[in-house]
A = this chain, B = another copy of it.
Amino acid sequence: MGNERRSVLRRAMRILETIKDAADGLNLSEISRRSGVPLTTAHRIVSELHEWGALERDESGEYRIGLWLWEVAAVAPRSVGLHRVALPFMRDLFETTQRGVHLAVREKDQVVFVERFLSPETATDRTWVGARYELHATAIGLVLLAYAPPDLQEEVVTGPLAVPSWHAPVTERELRQTLAEIRRVGYATTLIRQEYLSVAAPIHGPAGTVVAALSLILPCTESYGPRLAHLQATARGVSRALGAPQGRTRLALPSDMRKGG
């Protein structure tokens, strides 16, 4: 484990992440073991988090994420705010199409899924609320990448592209062309295991920048023209509800999310 300089805060956050990743609650020793934080130290940190309400403890002594954290997170503009606005639109889209609907945002160089509705047939895939993926591996990620700040795009495009198991751009040249094409037509598509087609469209925020993306999963046998129109109309509806200007799309500003090399 690359030993980042030790720091209470970082360790606390690592512990929170450890608990998040454990489907179930964890007891103290388990937290210590999985997070790599020495038992006594974990004890001190966990106690402090518990005292504040960031963690809860059930009768068997297992710790879980506490309500306080949820209260704090409930004002996160990109997740909960977006979620509240987008949910009814997503539901309408899901109910009329009966196809999987996903909502995601970009966090640095990854896609984070914020909400989803699954049709029974496509329920096999592994996405989950809060899950993270490579930007270039899915249609929804490609849309987010295509409208991301240029410096981040450059970084991803020239960086190592993990080859995904589905059909997606794999060389730098292909990826550049794909992104340009997405910006031109305003949507992205990828194949999923030769059986399904994922179509994604951007959602704009008040500043006109792309703040999220919406996708629809279709069987390949289905013609996607009408579905695409429906998806785009939905994405525009969400954008309008978020207060997006009616005019033309803007790229996001250069990302400030840069630190060391």
Which of A49-57, A140-148, A213-221, A225-233 is found at the contact surface with chain B?
A49-57
Q: Say yes or no: is A163 at the interface (Cβ < 8 Å to chain B).
A: no
CB–CB B59/A256 < 8 A: yes
Is A173 among interface residues, defined by CB-CB distance under 8 A? no
A76 contacts across to B, CB distance below 8 A = 64-67, 69-70
Query: Contacts A17-B72, A72-B65, A73-B72; is A9 near B12 (CB within 8 Å)?
Result: yes
- Residue in chain B with minimal CB distance to A59: B253
- Report yes or no: A80 in contact with B72, Cβ–Cβ below 8 A: no
- Complex-state Cα separation, A211 to B198, whole angstroms: 39
- Chain B residues with Cβ below 8 Å from A7 are 8, 48
Contact A130 to B52, CB < 8 A, known contacts A9-B8, A68-B107, A256-B57: no
Chain B residues lying within 8 Å of A13, measured Cβ to Cβ, are 52, 54
User: Which of A53, A73, A259 has the most chain B CB atoms closer than 10 A to its own CB?
Assistant: A73
For the complex, is A10 an interface residue (Cβ under 8 Å from B)?
yes
Whether A73 pairs with B69 at a CB distance below 8 angstroms is: yes
Residues of B within 8 A of A9 (CB): 8-9, 12, 45, 48-49, 52
Q: 15 extra interchain contacts, Cβ-Cβ under 8 A, other than A65-B73, A67-B107?
A: A7-B8, A9-B9, A9-B49, A9-B52, A10-B48, A53-B108, A59-B256, A64-B75, A67-B76, A67-B78, A69-B69, A69-B73, A70-B78, A70-B80, A73-B73
Supply 17 A–B pairs (Cβ within 8 Å), ascending by A.
A9-B48, A12-B12, A17-B72, A19-B75, A20-B71, A20-B72, A20-B75, A53-B108, A59-B256, A64-B77, A66-B76, A67-B76, A67-B78, A67-B79, A70-B78, A71-B130, A72-B73
